[in-house]
Each structure stands twice: as C-alpha cells, then as structure tokens.
Amino acid sequence: MLVAKVLGVYLAVSGLFLIFRGKTVPHLLKDLFDHPAVTYLVGIMMIFLSSMYLIQYNIWDGSWKTFITVFMWAVMAKGILYVFAPQVLSEIAIKKSRKIFGIFGALSVAVGLYLFLGLN
C-alpha cells in the first residue's frame, strides 16, 4: 500500500509538471542525454529501485498490485535502456513524444490520484 501511495504522489506531481511545464521537458531531456555519466547513473538507480520492489512484491493476481508490478517492470526496462541504449530513449522522448506531453500529464495525474486517494 505504501508503494502505491508513493507512486501515486510521484505520478500526480509528474503529470502536473507535464501539463504546466511540458515545454521545458525537451530541454531537460537534452541536458540529461548530453551527459553520459548522469544518464548511466539514472539508469542504474532505476534498475536498483525497481529490482528492490520486484524482489519483494512481484505480484500477478489481477488486482491493483499487478498494475504496480507492471509499472515496476517498465521502470526496470527503461533503466536498462538508459544504461545500454540511451540514444533510443533520447530519440523517442525528445522527438516523438513532444506533442502528447499534455495527454501523458492528464493520464498520469488521474492514475496518481487514484493510487493515492482511491486505494484503502
């Protein structure tokens, strides 16, 4: 439950950032990908944190916990891409996703609020 609440806050805040400051995201991502050491460290942190969760709670029972598990596997995959193929993420994130940051933001806020407020 704690992980769901923390993830909910993260998604809601990230979504609001995408909605209100989405135009700055390409600049932030360009700066990130221009520094290979930082990109590598971000990937390693994502792998570390997602694996800590997955070792403890790799749950596939069809409940909301499965959503968290799928999300953590996606974080693990993204971390692996940051380490081994950052150029792929750079192309996808900066060039192809720019137009839909608002949609991602709204969806992120909705899911975040559900996880934070809707689960008991």
pLDDT per position as a tens digit, 18-41: 999 888 888 888 899 999 999 999
Residue 97 has what pLDDT? Answer: 64
What's the whole-model pTM score? 0.79
| Structural domain total, the chain | 1
CA-closest candidate to residue 9, choices 79, 109, 102, 104:
109
Full domain range(s) for residue 14 = 2-118
CA-closest candidate to residue 46, choices 84, 72, 26:
72
Residue 76 has what pLDDT? Answer: 96
Query: How many CA atoms lie less than 13 Å away from 4 in the CB half-sphere?
Result: 19
Distance CA 69, CA 67 (A): 5
Q: Which residues of the chain have pLDDT under 50?
A: none
Residue 98 has what pLDDT? Answer: 66
CA angle 5, 65, 67 (to 5 degrees): 90
